[in-house]
Amino acid sequence: MERGGYGYGAGALVLQAMLLSGCDGEVATPLPTPTPTAAAALPTPAPVTGDERLILAFGDSLYAGYGLQRGQSLPDAVQARLRGDGINAKIVNAGVSGDTSAAGRQRLAFSLNNLPRKPDLVLLGLGGNDVLRQIAPAETRANMAAMLDELKKRSIPVMLTGMLAPPNLGPEYAGQFNRIWPDLAAQYQTALYPFILDGVIGNPALMQRDRVHPTAQGVAKIASKVAPLVAERLERLERD
């Protein structure tokens, strides 16, 4: 898959149903109860050691685990990989299907205030529903920046998982939208996984029938790339 495009030809229109296919009917709770970690087939897991690292996964249906069994969401898969590597991580899944960046901005402080303590890291992944609605990139950028400002004010480190606009929305829109995450990552000095569906979208074996939400196998592939970045971020924070 080429960087900057989804690489699925006519399927570029798929994002017109992005993340809200079946999601509008779901009831959004301000802070979903963390789901149990999925049992992952990890070779000879390392013993879990050290103090517990609390991570808040704050995003939309791609975090919530839309269409998956309980325990199969991306936060579950990342937690399982971290713990398989001996990292004592607990990820609270605050993904809400259908959330735009504006909705996330409204509930972020509430979600943080209702955690048992300040998290060691926040995974922040929103924007898919903004591009569905073709919200002006300037609005998405402002909402994402406001959330990063809130986290900075609370001295909470962040890792962004980015989104890309499909090419059918035109080069001007896509250019403005796609720059949001790398620009903000540089401005706020946060870690960045540029496109959350990289290597998964467009592959029928890794995507659900709606072609926009990953299967459990697709989630596992994403987690295999995201978890090492999270581990690296936690290690760097421990050194600092």
Q: What pLDDT is stored for residue 49 in this prediction?
A: 81
31 closest CA partner among 102, 89, 100, 108: 108
**Overall pTM > 0.85:** no
The CATH number for 57's domain is 3.40.50.1110
* Residue 73 within a domain: yes
**Beta-strand relationship, 158-161 and 191-193:** parallel
* Residue 23 within a domain: no
* Residue 132 within a domain: yes
* Residue 14 within a domain: no
Give pairs for 38-43: CB < 8 Å, separation 24+.
38/71, 38/72, 38/73, 38/76, 38/77, 38/80, 38/216, 39/71, 39/80, 40/77, 40/80, 40/81, 40/84, 40/220, 42/80, 42/81, 42/84
* Residue 167 within a domain: yes
Expressed as residue numbers, the domain containing 123 is 51-239
- Active-site residue among 21, 97, 111, 213? 213
Give the residue carrying structure tokens 């939208």.
177
Q: What pLDDT is stored for residue 30 in this prediction?
A: 41
71's tokens: 């325990």
Residue 210 is a catalytic residue: yes
- Active-site residue among 21, 60, 61, 99? 61
* Residue 25 within a domain: no
CA 227, distance to chain mean position in Å, is 12
Number of domains in the chain: 1
Give the residue carrying structure tokens 């609005």.
139
Residue 61 is a catalytic residue: yes
Buried b (16+ CB within 10 A) or exposed e, 187-199: ebebbbbbbbbbe
Give the residue carrying structure tokens 């569905």.
132
**Which secondary structure element, helix H or strand E, spans residue 4, and what is its range?**
none
* Residue 219 within a domain: yes
**pLDDT, averaged in runs of 10, over the chain (240 residues):** 36 42 38 43 72 97 96 98 96 98 98 98 97 96 98 98 95 97 98 97 95 96 98 90
* Residue 8 within a domain: no
